[in-house]
Amino acid sequence: MTTVDVSADTSLPQAGEATAEKAPKAAGRVEGGPAFRAKMSTLARDSVKTVIGASMVGTAIEFYDFYAYGTASANYFPKIFFPEANPTVGLLASLLTFAIAFIARPLGSLLFGHFGDRMGRKTTLVVSLLLMGCATVLIGCLPTYGTWGLLSVVLLCACRFVQGIGLGGEWSGAALVATENAPADRRALYGSFPELGAPIGFFLSNGTFFLLEMFCTPQQMLSWGWRVPFLLSAVLVVVGLTIRVHMEETPIFRMALEQQKAVKAPLAEVFRRSWKQVLQATFLVAVTYTLFYTLATWSLAFGTKAKGQGGGGLGFTTQEYLLMLMVSIVVFAAFIVLSCVYADRLGRRRVLVASSVALVVFSLLFPYLLMGYRNFFQVMVFLCVGFALMGVAFGPIGAMLPELFPTNVRYSGAGIGYNLAAIVGAAFVPTIATWLSSHWGVRSVGLYLAFMALCCLVAVLSCRETKDVDFSR
Protein backbone atom coordinates (compact mmCIF):
# COMPACT_ATOMS: atom_id res chain seq x y z
CA MET A 1 0.00 0.00 0.00
CA THR A 2 1.37 3.39 -1.03
CA THR A 3 0.17 6.94 -0.43
CA VAL A 4 0.50 9.56 -3.16
CA ASP A 5 -1.18 12.75 -4.34
CA VAL A 6 -4.96 12.91 -3.90
CA SER A 7 -5.75 16.27 -5.52
CA ALA A 8 -9.36 16.76 -6.60
CA ASP A 9 -10.51 15.84 -10.10
CA THR A 10 -13.39 17.98 -11.22
CA SER A 11 -14.03 15.79 -14.24
CA LEU A 12 -15.80 13.29 -12.01
CA PRO A 13 -19.61 13.55 -11.82
CA GLN A 14 -21.15 15.40 -8.92
CA ALA A 15 -24.11 14.13 -6.90
CA GLY A 16 -27.26 14.13 -8.98
CA GLU A 17 -25.48 14.27 -12.36
CA ALA A 18 -26.18 11.77 -15.11
CA THR A 19 -24.71 8.32 -14.67
CA ALA A 20 -22.74 6.37 -17.23
CA GLU A 21 -25.94 4.59 -18.28
CA LYS A 22 -27.66 7.87 -19.12
CA ALA A 23 -24.65 9.67 -20.62
CA PRO A 24 -22.25 7.03 -21.94
CA LYS A 25 -20.47 9.50 -24.23
CA ALA A 26 -19.52 12.00 -21.55
CA ALA A 27 -15.74 12.19 -21.66
CA GLY A 28 -14.07 10.90 -18.54
CA ARG A 29 -17.34 10.07 -16.78
CA VAL A 30 -17.68 6.40 -17.60
CA GLU A 31 -16.19 4.25 -14.89
CA GLY A 32 -13.05 2.61 -16.18
CA GLY A 33 -12.42 5.58 -18.53
CA PRO A 34 -9.13 7.53 -18.59
CA ALA A 35 -10.11 10.12 -15.96
CA PHE A 36 -11.44 7.53 -13.54
CA ARG A 37 -8.44 5.22 -13.92
CA ALA A 38 -6.01 8.11 -13.54
CA LYS A 39 -7.70 9.32 -10.36
CA MET A 40 -7.97 5.86 -8.81
CA SER A 41 -4.31 5.15 -9.55
CA THR A 42 -3.22 8.13 -7.42
CA LEU A 43 -5.12 7.07 -4.28
CA ALA A 44 -3.71 4.94 -1.47
CA ARG A 45 -5.64 1.73 -1.24
CA ASP A 46 -5.47 -1.58 0.60
CA SER A 47 -4.03 -4.71 -0.93
CA VAL A 48 -6.39 -7.46 -2.07
CA LYS A 49 -5.45 -9.47 1.02
CA THR A 50 -6.41 -6.59 3.31
CA VAL A 51 -9.69 -6.06 1.46
CA ILE A 52 -10.51 -9.76 1.82
CA GLY A 53 -9.58 -9.69 5.49
CA ALA A 54 -11.49 -6.53 6.33
CA SER A 55 -14.66 -7.56 4.49
CA MET A 56 -14.72 -11.36 4.72
CA VAL A 57 -13.15 -12.05 8.11
CA GLY A 58 -15.08 -9.35 9.92
CA THR A 59 -18.35 -10.44 8.34
CA ALA A 60 -17.60 -14.07 9.18
CA ILE A 61 -17.15 -13.16 12.84
CA GLU A 62 -20.37 -11.17 12.93
CA PHE A 63 -22.34 -13.95 11.26
CA TYR A 64 -20.74 -16.50 13.59
CA ASP A 65 -22.23 -14.55 16.50
CA PHE A 66 -25.60 -14.32 14.80
CA TYR A 67 -25.81 -17.99 13.82
CA ALA A 68 -24.70 -19.20 17.23
CA TYR A 69 -27.87 -17.65 18.57
CA GLY A 70 -29.95 -19.28 15.84
CA THR A 71 -28.63 -22.75 16.71
CA ALA A 72 -29.05 -22.19 20.45
CA SER A 73 -32.58 -20.84 20.05
CA ALA A 74 -33.65 -23.92 18.10
CA ASN A 75 -32.07 -26.49 20.41
CA TYR A 76 -31.23 -25.25 23.92
CA PHE A 77 -33.02 -22.01 24.80
CA PRO A 78 -36.53 -23.57 24.91
CA LYS A 79 -35.40 -25.60 27.95
CA ILE A 80 -33.05 -23.01 29.44
CA PHE A 81 -35.17 -19.86 29.23
CA PHE A 82 -38.70 -21.26 28.74
CA PRO A 83 -38.77 -24.44 30.85
CA GLU A 84 -42.31 -23.96 32.15
CA ALA A 85 -43.97 -23.89 28.71
CA ASN A 86 -44.97 -27.02 26.81
CA PRO A 87 -42.31 -28.07 24.23
CA THR A 88 -43.99 -26.55 21.16
CA VAL A 89 -44.80 -23.24 22.86
CA GLY A 90 -41.28 -23.10 24.33
CA LEU A 91 -39.77 -23.58 20.88
CA LEU A 92 -42.00 -20.90 19.37
CA ALA A 93 -41.14 -18.47 22.20
CA SER A 94 -37.43 -19.13 21.78
CA LEU A 95 -37.65 -18.54 18.03
CA LEU A 96 -39.47 -15.26 18.69
CA THR A 97 -36.44 -14.02 20.65
CA PHE A 98 -34.45 -14.97 17.55
CA ALA A 99 -36.64 -12.50 15.59
CA ILE A 100 -35.80 -9.55 17.84
CA ALA A 101 -32.42 -8.93 16.20
CA PHE A 102 -34.00 -8.71 12.75
CA ILE A 103 -36.33 -5.98 13.98
CA ALA A 104 -33.30 -4.12 15.38
CA ARG A 105 -31.21 -4.46 12.24
CA PRO A 106 -32.90 -1.67 10.22
CA LEU A 107 -32.29 0.63 13.20
CA GLY A 108 -28.63 -0.37 13.07
CA SER A 109 -28.51 0.36 9.35
CA LEU A 110 -30.02 3.82 9.95
CA LEU A 111 -27.49 4.58 12.69
CA PHE A 112 -24.38 3.20 11.04
CA GLY A 113 -25.48 4.27 7.56
CA HIS A 114 -25.68 7.89 8.73
CA PHE A 115 -22.13 7.86 10.10
CA GLY A 116 -20.78 5.58 7.37
CA ASP A 117 -21.84 8.06 4.68
CA ARG A 118 -20.57 11.07 6.67
CA MET A 119 -17.42 9.79 8.40
CA GLY A 120 -16.41 6.80 6.32
CA ARG A 121 -16.67 3.02 6.13
CA LYS A 122 -13.72 2.14 8.39
CA THR A 123 -14.85 3.67 11.70
CA THR A 124 -18.39 2.36 11.46
CA LEU A 125 -17.19 -1.17 10.71
CA VAL A 126 -14.94 -1.17 13.80
CA VAL A 127 -17.77 0.02 16.05
CA SER A 128 -20.34 -2.42 14.62
CA LEU A 129 -18.03 -5.38 15.18
CA LEU A 130 -17.27 -4.32 18.74
CA LEU A 131 -20.97 -3.82 19.56
CA MET A 132 -21.94 -7.20 18.14
CA GLY A 133 -19.10 -9.01 19.92
CA CYS A 134 -19.86 -7.54 23.34
CA ALA A 135 -23.54 -8.47 23.09
CA THR A 136 -22.65 -12.03 22.09
CA VAL A 137 -20.23 -12.54 24.98
CA LEU A 138 -22.85 -11.20 27.42
CA ILE A 139 -25.35 -13.80 26.18
CA GLY A 140 -22.86 -16.47 27.17
CA CYS A 141 -22.74 -15.00 30.69
CA LEU A 142 -26.51 -14.73 31.30
CA PRO A 143 -28.16 -16.56 34.21
CA THR A 144 -30.90 -19.00 33.21
CA TYR A 145 -34.63 -18.86 33.93
CA GLY A 146 -34.11 -21.18 36.88
CA THR A 147 -31.81 -18.57 38.49
CA TRP A 148 -33.31 -15.18 37.66
CA GLY A 149 -36.71 -16.09 36.26
CA LEU A 150 -38.33 -13.67 33.83
CA LEU A 151 -35.46 -11.17 34.20
CA SER A 152 -33.15 -13.61 32.43
CA VAL A 153 -35.50 -13.62 29.42
CA VAL A 154 -35.60 -9.81 29.40
CA LEU A 155 -31.79 -9.63 29.42
CA LEU A 156 -31.60 -12.23 26.67
CA CYS A 157 -33.92 -10.12 24.51
CA ALA A 158 -31.88 -6.98 25.26
CA CYS A 159 -28.63 -8.64 24.20
CA ARG A 160 -30.29 -9.99 21.09
CA PHE A 161 -31.50 -6.48 20.23
CA VAL A 162 -27.96 -5.10 20.55
CA GLN A 163 -26.72 -7.94 18.32
CA GLY A 164 -29.17 -6.77 15.69
CA ILE A 165 -28.02 -3.14 15.95
CA GLY A 166 -24.41 -4.22 15.42
CA LEU A 167 -25.12 -6.50 12.48
CA GLY A 168 -27.33 -3.79 10.94
CA GLY A 169 -24.22 -1.73 10.25
CA GLU A 170 -21.99 -4.63 9.27
CA TRP A 171 -22.95 -6.02 5.90
CA SER A 172 -23.32 -2.81 3.91
CA GLY A 173 -20.02 -1.44 5.23
CA ALA A 174 -18.18 -4.66 4.42
CA ALA A 175 -19.73 -4.74 0.94
CA LEU A 176 -18.56 -1.18 0.29
CA VAL A 177 -15.02 -1.93 1.48
CA ALA A 178 -14.93 -4.75 -1.08
CA THR A 179 -16.68 -3.14 -4.05
CA GLU A 180 -15.23 0.37 -3.67
CA ASN A 181 -11.75 -1.17 -3.83
CA ALA A 182 -12.61 -3.41 -6.81
CA PRO A 183 -11.67 -3.06 -10.49
CA ALA A 184 -14.75 -2.07 -12.52
CA ASP A 185 -15.03 -5.47 -14.23
CA ARG A 186 -14.71 -7.50 -11.01
CA ARG A 187 -17.09 -5.81 -8.62
CA ALA A 188 -19.31 -8.88 -8.25
CA LEU A 189 -16.29 -11.08 -7.54
CA TYR A 190 -14.97 -8.64 -4.92
CA GLY A 191 -18.51 -8.32 -3.61
CA SER A 192 -18.43 -12.05 -2.90
CA PHE A 193 -15.84 -11.50 -0.13
CA PRO A 194 -18.34 -10.26 2.49
CA GLU A 195 -20.92 -12.73 1.17
CA LEU A 196 -18.51 -15.58 1.90
CA GLY A 197 -18.45 -14.42 5.51
CA ALA A 198 -21.95 -15.89 5.88
CA PRO A 199 -21.04 -19.55 5.16
CA ILE A 200 -17.71 -19.21 6.98
CA GLY A 201 -19.40 -17.85 10.09
CA PHE A 202 -22.09 -20.50 9.86
CA PHE A 203 -19.48 -23.26 9.50
CA LEU A 204 -17.52 -22.01 12.51
CA SER A 205 -20.66 -21.69 14.63
CA ASN A 206 -22.12 -25.06 13.76
CA GLY A 207 -18.68 -26.67 13.97
CA THR A 208 -18.32 -25.43 17.53
CA PHE A 209 -21.72 -26.81 18.50
CA PHE A 210 -20.94 -30.07 16.69
CA LEU A 211 -17.74 -30.59 18.68
CA LEU A 212 -19.51 -29.74 21.91
CA GLU A 213 -22.30 -32.21 21.14
CA MET A 214 -19.66 -34.85 20.44
CA PHE A 215 -17.86 -34.52 23.79
CA CYS A 216 -20.65 -33.30 26.12
CA THR A 217 -23.70 -35.07 27.41
CA PRO A 218 -27.13 -33.48 26.78
CA GLN A 219 -27.21 -32.40 30.42
CA GLN A 220 -23.78 -30.76 30.15
CA MET A 221 -24.91 -28.89 27.03
CA LEU A 222 -27.91 -27.49 28.89
CA SER A 223 -25.81 -26.74 31.96
CA TRP A 224 -22.78 -24.95 30.46
CA GLY A 225 -21.96 -26.24 26.97
CA TRP A 226 -24.31 -23.84 25.18
CA ARG A 227 -22.33 -20.90 26.60
CA VAL A 228 -19.01 -21.86 24.99
CA PRO A 229 -19.69 -20.62 21.39
CA PHE A 230 -20.83 -17.24 22.74
CA LEU A 231 -17.78 -16.82 24.98
CA LEU A 232 -15.39 -17.86 22.19
CA SER A 233 -16.66 -14.89 20.20
CA ALA A 234 -14.35 -12.67 22.28
CA VAL A 235 -11.29 -14.24 20.65
CA LEU A 236 -12.72 -13.83 17.16
CA VAL A 237 -13.65 -10.19 17.76
CA VAL A 238 -10.05 -9.35 18.71
CA VAL A 239 -8.89 -10.85 15.40
CA GLY A 240 -11.47 -8.88 13.43
CA LEU A 241 -10.72 -5.60 15.17
CA THR A 242 -6.99 -6.00 14.53
CA ILE A 243 -7.61 -6.29 10.80
CA ARG A 244 -10.12 -3.46 10.55
CA VAL A 245 -8.22 -0.92 12.63
CA HIS A 246 -5.28 -1.11 10.20
CA MET A 247 -7.21 -0.85 6.94
CA GLU A 248 -7.50 2.29 4.75
CA GLU A 249 -10.67 4.21 4.00
CA THR A 250 -11.99 3.27 0.53
CA PRO A 251 -10.62 5.39 -2.36
CA ILE A 252 -14.08 6.17 -3.79
CA PHE A 253 -15.32 7.55 -0.47
CA ARG A 254 -12.17 9.67 -0.14
CA MET A 255 -12.85 11.11 -3.58
CA ALA A 256 -16.39 11.92 -2.47
CA LEU A 257 -15.04 13.79 0.56
CA GLU A 258 -12.54 15.76 -1.53
CA GLN A 259 -15.28 16.83 -3.91
CA GLN A 260 -17.59 17.64 -0.99
CA LYS A 261 -20.18 15.11 -2.17
CA ALA A 262 -20.86 13.84 1.36
CA VAL A 263 -24.26 15.02 2.61
CA LYS A 264 -25.21 16.10 6.13
CA ALA A 265 -28.39 14.02 6.22
CA PRO A 266 -27.81 10.89 4.11
CA LEU A 267 -30.94 9.18 5.44
CA ALA A 268 -33.19 12.00 4.29
CA GLU A 269 -31.39 11.97 0.93
CA VAL A 270 -31.98 8.22 0.54
CA PHE A 271 -35.69 8.39 1.22
CA ARG A 272 -36.13 11.51 -0.90
CA ARG A 273 -34.24 10.41 -4.01
CA SER A 274 -33.74 6.63 -3.77
CA TRP A 275 -36.85 5.19 -2.09
CA LYS A 276 -37.58 3.02 -5.15
CA GLN A 277 -34.09 1.50 -4.98
CA VAL A 278 -34.58 0.80 -1.26
CA LEU A 279 -37.74 -1.20 -2.05
CA GLN A 280 -35.99 -3.04 -4.87
CA ALA A 281 -33.06 -3.90 -2.60
CA THR A 282 -35.40 -5.13 0.14
CA PHE A 283 -37.16 -7.67 -2.05
CA LEU A 284 -34.00 -8.67 -3.92
CA VAL A 285 -32.54 -9.86 -0.63
CA ALA A 286 -35.64 -11.01 1.26
CA VAL A 287 -35.90 -14.42 -0.40
CA THR A 288 -32.28 -15.24 0.46
CA TYR A 289 -33.10 -14.69 4.13
CA THR A 290 -36.25 -16.79 3.92
CA LEU A 291 -34.37 -19.61 2.21
CA PHE A 292 -31.38 -19.49 4.54
CA TYR A 293 -33.33 -19.63 7.79
CA THR A 294 -35.67 -22.24 6.35
CA LEU A 295 -32.61 -24.40 5.64
CA ALA A 296 -30.48 -23.56 8.66
CA THR A 297 -32.83 -22.89 11.58
CA TRP A 298 -36.31 -24.22 10.84
CA SER A 299 -35.12 -27.46 9.24
CA LEU A 300 -32.75 -28.08 12.17
CA ALA A 301 -35.68 -28.05 14.58
CA PHE A 302 -37.93 -29.89 12.11
CA GLY A 303 -35.39 -32.65 11.53
CA THR A 304 -34.39 -33.26 15.15
CA LYS A 305 -37.59 -32.86 17.16
CA ALA A 306 -40.62 -35.10 17.47
CA LYS A 307 -43.96 -34.00 16.04
CA GLY A 308 -45.28 -33.31 19.53
CA GLN A 309 -42.38 -30.91 20.12
CA GLY A 310 -42.89 -28.80 16.99
CA GLY A 311 -40.68 -30.91 14.73
CA GLY A 312 -41.29 -33.29 11.85
CA GLY A 313 -40.29 -36.54 13.53
CA LEU A 314 -37.51 -37.23 11.03
CA GLY A 315 -35.46 -38.95 13.72
CA PHE A 316 -32.09 -37.19 13.41
CA THR A 317 -29.96 -36.22 16.38
CA THR A 318 -28.77 -32.63 16.69
CA GLN A 319 -25.20 -33.73 16.06
CA GLU A 320 -26.16 -35.58 12.85
CA TYR A 321 -28.11 -32.65 11.48
CA LEU A 322 -25.36 -30.16 12.31
CA LEU A 323 -22.90 -32.33 10.39
CA MET A 324 -25.19 -32.38 7.33
CA LEU A 325 -25.53 -28.60 7.54
CA MET A 326 -21.75 -28.18 7.71
CA VAL A 327 -21.28 -30.29 4.58
CA SER A 328 -23.99 -28.43 2.65
CA ILE A 329 -22.66 -25.01 3.67
CA VAL A 330 -19.54 -25.73 1.60
CA VAL A 331 -21.84 -25.93 -1.44
CA PHE A 332 -23.24 -22.54 -0.43
CA ALA A 333 -19.77 -20.96 -0.44
CA ALA A 334 -18.81 -22.51 -3.79
CA PHE A 335 -21.94 -21.25 -5.53
CA ILE A 336 -21.48 -17.73 -4.13
CA VAL A 337 -18.17 -17.44 -5.97
CA LEU A 338 -19.48 -19.18 -9.11
CA SER A 339 -22.54 -16.93 -9.35
CA CYS A 340 -20.37 -13.81 -8.92
CA VAL A 341 -18.06 -14.85 -11.74
CA TYR A 342 -21.06 -15.18 -14.05
CA ALA A 343 -22.60 -11.96 -12.69
CA ASP A 344 -19.46 -10.11 -13.85
CA ARG A 345 -19.65 -11.77 -17.27
CA LEU A 346 -23.39 -11.88 -17.97
CA GLY A 347 -24.78 -9.26 -15.62
CA ARG A 348 -26.39 -9.37 -12.20
CA ARG A 349 -29.93 -9.35 -13.56
CA ARG A 350 -29.66 -12.55 -15.61
CA VAL A 351 -28.18 -14.52 -12.73
CA LEU A 352 -30.83 -13.35 -10.26
CA VAL A 353 -33.72 -14.03 -12.65
CA ALA A 354 -32.46 -17.59 -13.14
CA SER A 355 -32.07 -18.13 -9.38
CA SER A 356 -35.58 -16.81 -8.64
CA VAL A 357 -37.22 -19.12 -11.17
CA ALA A 358 -35.20 -22.08 -9.89
CA LEU A 359 -36.21 -21.26 -6.31
CA VAL A 360 -39.91 -21.38 -7.20
CA VAL A 361 -39.43 -24.88 -8.61
CA PHE A 362 -37.37 -25.98 -5.60
CA SER A 363 -39.98 -24.62 -3.19
CA LEU A 364 -42.71 -26.77 -4.72
CA LEU A 365 -40.58 -29.94 -4.73
CA PHE A 366 -38.53 -29.91 -1.50
CA PRO A 367 -41.39 -30.99 0.82
CA TYR A 368 -41.21 -34.44 -0.76
CA LEU A 369 -37.62 -34.73 0.49
CA LEU A 370 -38.64 -34.20 4.13
CA MET A 371 -41.16 -36.99 4.50
CA GLY A 372 -39.00 -40.01 5.31
CA TYR A 373 -37.59 -41.26 8.61
CA ARG A 374 -33.80 -40.85 9.00
CA ASN A 375 -33.36 -40.64 5.24
CA PHE A 376 -29.92 -39.06 5.06
CA PHE A 377 -29.83 -39.02 1.26
CA GLN A 378 -33.08 -37.10 0.85
CA VAL A 379 -32.18 -34.53 3.49
CA MET A 380 -28.73 -34.01 2.00
CA VAL A 381 -30.29 -33.41 -1.42
CA PHE A 382 -32.67 -30.90 0.20
CA LEU A 383 -29.82 -29.06 1.96
CA CYS A 384 -27.27 -29.13 -0.88
CA VAL A 385 -29.68 -28.06 -3.62
CA GLY A 386 -31.18 -25.44 -1.33
CA PHE A 387 -27.80 -23.98 -0.38
CA ALA A 388 -26.62 -24.08 -4.01
CA LEU A 389 -29.60 -21.95 -5.00
CA MET A 390 -28.97 -19.77 -1.96
CA GLY A 391 -25.43 -19.14 -3.18
CA VAL A 392 -26.62 -18.17 -6.66
CA ALA A 393 -29.23 -15.79 -5.25
CA PHE A 394 -26.97 -14.32 -2.56
CA GLY A 395 -23.67 -13.90 -4.40
CA PRO A 396 -24.44 -11.01 -6.81
CA ILE A 397 -26.22 -9.05 -4.06
CA GLY A 398 -22.85 -7.92 -2.67
CA ALA A 399 -22.27 -5.86 -5.81
CA MET A 400 -25.79 -5.10 -7.01
CA LEU A 401 -27.11 -3.43 -3.85
CA PRO A 402 -24.25 -0.89 -3.62
CA GLU A 403 -24.57 -0.29 -7.37
CA LEU A 404 -28.18 0.85 -6.93
CA PHE A 405 -27.09 3.92 -4.91
CA PRO A 406 -24.74 6.90 -5.42
CA THR A 407 -21.58 7.18 -3.30
CA ASN A 408 -22.88 9.81 -0.88
CA VAL A 409 -25.77 7.61 0.33
CA ARG A 410 -24.45 4.17 -0.62
CA TYR A 411 -23.82 2.96 2.95
CA SER A 412 -27.29 4.09 4.09
CA GLY A 413 -29.19 2.91 1.02
CA ALA A 414 -27.63 -0.54 0.73
CA GLY A 415 -27.81 -1.07 4.49
CA ILE A 416 -31.45 -0.03 4.84
CA GLY A 417 -32.55 -2.23 1.93
CA TYR A 418 -30.52 -5.19 3.15
CA ASN A 419 -31.78 -4.96 6.72
CA LEU A 420 -35.42 -4.25 5.87
CA ALA A 421 -35.16 -7.53 3.99
CA ALA A 422 -34.22 -9.11 7.31
CA ILE A 423 -37.66 -8.20 8.67
CA VAL A 424 -39.56 -9.11 5.51
CA GLY A 425 -37.66 -12.31 4.78
CA ALA A 426 -36.13 -13.63 8.00
CA ALA A 427 -37.33 -12.23 11.32
CA PHE A 428 -40.24 -14.61 11.76
CA VAL A 429 -39.28 -17.34 9.28
CA PRO A 430 -38.46 -20.06 11.84
CA THR A 431 -41.60 -19.22 13.83
CA ILE A 432 -43.88 -19.01 10.78
CA ALA A 433 -42.42 -22.16 9.23
CA THR A 434 -42.77 -24.08 12.51
CA TRP A 435 -46.39 -22.95 12.86
CA LEU A 436 -47.19 -23.75 9.21
CA SER A 437 -45.62 -27.20 9.30
CA SER A 438 -47.34 -28.13 12.56
CA HIS A 439 -50.79 -26.97 11.35
CA TRP A 440 -50.77 -27.37 7.57
CA GLY A 441 -47.87 -29.70 6.83
CA VAL A 442 -44.47 -29.17 5.27
CA ARG A 443 -45.94 -28.32 1.83
CA SER A 444 -47.22 -25.04 3.25
CA VAL A 445 -43.61 -24.08 4.07
CA GLY A 446 -42.75 -24.68 0.40
CA LEU A 447 -45.58 -22.40 -0.72
CA TYR A 448 -44.36 -19.71 1.68
CA LEU A 449 -40.85 -19.88 0.18
CA ALA A 450 -42.25 -19.90 -3.39
CA PHE A 451 -44.16 -16.68 -2.67
CA MET A 452 -40.96 -14.97 -1.47
CA ALA A 453 -39.13 -16.16 -4.60
CA LEU A 454 -41.83 -14.62 -6.80
CA CYS A 455 -41.48 -11.31 -4.92
CA CYS A 456 -37.74 -11.41 -5.65
CA LEU A 457 -38.40 -12.10 -9.34
CA VAL A 458 -40.66 -9.04 -9.58
CA ALA A 459 -37.98 -6.90 -7.88
CA VAL A 460 -35.26 -8.13 -10.25
CA LEU A 461 -37.39 -7.47 -13.32
CA SER A 462 -38.07 -3.92 -12.09
CA CYS A 463 -34.31 -3.17 -11.93
CA ARG A 464 -32.04 -2.14 -14.75
CA GLU A 465 -28.74 -3.96 -15.19
CA THR A 466 -26.11 -2.41 -12.89
CA LYS A 467 -22.96 -4.21 -14.09
CA ASP A 468 -21.67 -1.16 -16.00
CA VAL A 469 -22.97 1.57 -13.71
CA ASP A 470 -20.64 4.48 -12.91
CA PHE A 471 -19.62 3.53 -9.38
CA SER A 472 -17.91 6.86 -8.72
CA ARG A 473 -21.11 8.88 -9.14
pLDDT of 278-312, one tens digit each? 999 999 999 998 998 899 888 888 888 888 777 77
pLDDT tens by residue, 168-190: 888 888 888 888 888 888 899 99
User: Could you state, in order of their start, the residue ranges of all structural domains in the chain?
Assistant: 45-462
SS (H, E, C) 128-160: HHHHHHHHHHHHHHCCCHHHHCHHHHHHHHHHH
Angle, CA of 207, 209 and 210, to the nearest 5°? 60
19 vs 116: which has the higher pLDDT: 116
pLDDT in tens, 37-56: 555 555 555 667 778 877 88
What is the average pLDDT across 392-407?
A: 92
Q: Residue 29: pLDDT above 60? A: no
* Cα distance between the two ends of the chain: 25
What is the rounded average pLDDT of the residues 133-158?
Answer: 94
- Reported as a single tens digit per residue, the pLDDT across 332-376 is 999 999 999 999 999 999 999 999 999 999 999 999 998 888 999
Q: Give the span between the Cα atoms of 84 and 74, in whole angstroms.
A: 17
Q: Is the pLDDT of residue 396 over 80?
A: yes
What is the rounded CA–CA span in Å between residue 17 and residue 273?
13
365/78 Cα distance (integer angstroms):
31
- Give yes or no for residue 57 having a pLDDT over 90: no
Nearest in space to 93 (alpha carbons), one of 78, 79, 104, 103: 78
pLDDT tens per residue across span 436-454: 888 888 899 999 999 999 9
Rounded CA-CA distance 441/452 in Å is 18
Which pLDDT tens digit goes with each residue over 198-207?
899 988 998 9
pLDDT reported for residue 451: 95
Greater confidence (400 vs 37) lies with 400
Q: Does domain 45-462 have CATH number 2.60.40.1180?
A: no
Whole-number average pLDDT of the chain: 84
The answer to whether the CB of 333 falls within 8 A of the CB of 199 is yes
Q: Among 255-259, 404-408, 426-430, which is the least confidently predicted range?
A: 255-259
Q: What percent of the chain has pLDDT over 70?
A: 88
Q: pTM for this one?
A: 0.79
Q: What are phi and psi of 61, to 5 degrees?
A: -65, -45
**pLDDT of 4 strictly over 60:** no
- The pLDDT of residue 6 is above 60: no
With contact defined as beta carbons under 8 Å apart, do 391 and 338 qualify? yes
Per cent of the chain over pLDDT 90 is: 41
- The mean-pLDDT minimum among 1-5, 354-358, 433-437 falls in 1-5
